[in-house]
Structure 1
């Protein structure tokens, strides 16, 4: 289903200006960057890719440079190259949990979902569990269609890190993928209301609101706290997805059927 595929893309990224990076496992330190990678526009990402790529070429074994470079490549949609970079970083840092988590993220973005689960599992340790890894694992399980397992991982993450907006957003998007839009909106509204929520959470909320036919409200949410260029790109992306009326109708019918079953 086209809209479901678009929703899944938002679980891993945001809208048009933030591709394939919603599988958050912690922020990566910047290397001579003027702003966080996740908040860069497309032209800024292109400049960053060139500068960090040059630094990576000079020293491909540098952990921080490799992490940043792979992150930027994913944001630019170059998932295969990002995976190749992370393979090298993981070889040089085989026991580094952050590196393993980022490697798993790169595998998932490149479509290697089962391998990503194994890698993320290697990064997790029972004595020092990391909520980010539980959330990352949940996102991969959702892509594999194992929604019940995914939601258990999200709830474990929330037990460890209560009211974490990125995890609540992933949990909400999990319900989008199964067609339960009202439950999805509940989680996403709660996540978006938290002071630490970022624009990606609000863009996911905009998608869910739009999928329920409230297009003006969805556009208002999509435009908040973004530059004009980013806002226009995200609204255009949102409109494009919501224009897929056949897919929207299927999701809406599935949602109504669930609600009818609940009241019978």
Structure 2
């Protein structure tokens, strides 16, 4: 869900994310880490929340249209919402139309509307595993985590588990504060799909939530070079490095994904926020 924004949009996105729970050896007043996890936040901006992928990667699931949606910026999302919405209105019982429209609504931050679309198609197709998985994602996006967990688990096939659903389940468990259970689930997913970027990224974000930034960095570095990784994983890596006070290294990583101006603006903003919170630069 990488969507580059600038100026006030970037500041708003970033500042809105700086009011969550701090963790680890960062000072108690530092309120950055949970925002990184729950929004897949990169300082260049991310306009929507995907709560079944706590890190930010190009998913291996979904339709081709769904994957292309995740690369749109805010203006493109608004246009896509109109287009997919019109198609959905003509075909409200179409699984593909519903999935695509729900995805673009979620990416645009219209989570309640996305949930309504998925709830309607789930009634039509109550045993369709792809629909159930997407319904769980929509529930999580709307903050209905218990229902989301139930939907994702009902979509799972215990005797032949789907690693994507396991990873989504772990992300929901993390948001419920059950990091130990989440990491156990991620390990099960990695046994099925070793080296998968989305699972590694989710594992990394789990450690960010608990304030263990060095371990989070380890998993993000693995995710950044894994198949299926995208720019947002590396930008999150830059942010985790920056949160540890290694600003020059963070800027170097970010500059591979962003323009030099964006990379510098991101690290400058992060540096100023950490300075205000009293976090000292590390060697």
Structure 1 segments of 4+ aligned residues over 6 angstroms from their partners? none
Question: Equivalent of 1:10, from 22, 28, 39?
Answer: 39
Cα deviation per residue 1:113-136 (whole Å; 9 max; x = unaligned)?
A: 111110101000112210001100
Match of 2:61 in 1: 27
Query: Structure 1 residues 195 and 128, CA, compared in 2 at 3 Å: closer, same or farther?
Result: closer
Cα deviation per residue 1:29-71 (whole Å; 9 max; x = unaligned)?
A: 245x9x8111111111111111001111111111111111111
TM-score of the pair, normalised by structure 1: 0.83
Task: Measure, in 2, the Cα distance between the counterparts of 1:247 and 1:178.
Answer: 22
Task: Measure, in 1, the Cα distance between the counterparts of 2:267 and 2:127.
Answer: 40
TM-score of the pair, normalised by structure 2: 0.77
Pair 1:146-2:157 in alignment: no
Cα deviation per residue 1:192-211 (whole Å; 9 max; x = unaligned)?
A: 02243112321221221111
Post-superposition shift, 1:173?
Answer: 0.8
Is the 8 Å Cα contact of residues 166 and 201 (structure 1) preserved in structure 2?
A: no
Is the 8 Å Cα contact of residues 51 and 140 (structure 2) preserved in structure 1?
A: no
Aligned CA-pair RMSD: 2.8
Task: Measure, in 1, the Cα distance between the counterparts of 2:167 and 2:246.
Answer: 29
Cα deviation per residue 1:152-191 (whole Å; 9 max; x = unaligned)?
A: 0000000000000110010011011111110110111011
Match of 1:82 in 2: 114
Question: Equivalent of 1:176, from 204, 208, 213?
Answer: 208
Task: Measure, in 2, the Cα distance between the counterparts of 1:134 and 1:181.
Answer: 23
Bigger fraction of residues in helix: 1
Task: Measure, in 2, the Cα distance between the counterparts of 1:98 and 1:239.
Answer: 42
Structure 2 residues without counterparts, runs of 5 or longer = 1-20, 22-30, 54-58
Task: Measure, in 2, the Cα distance between the counterparts of 1:23 and 1:247.
Answer: 32
Structure 1 residues without counterparts, runs of 5 or longer = 257-264
Post-superposition shift, 1:217?
Answer: 2.6
Is the 8 Å Cα contact of residues 30 and 36 (structure 1) preserved in structure 2?
A: yes
Task: Measure, in 1, the Cα distance between the counterparts of 2:183 and 2:153.
Answer: 16
Post-superposition shift, 1:7?
Answer: 1.8
Mean Cα deviation higher: 149-158 or 65-74: 65-74
Post-superposition shift, 1:22?
Answer: 5.7
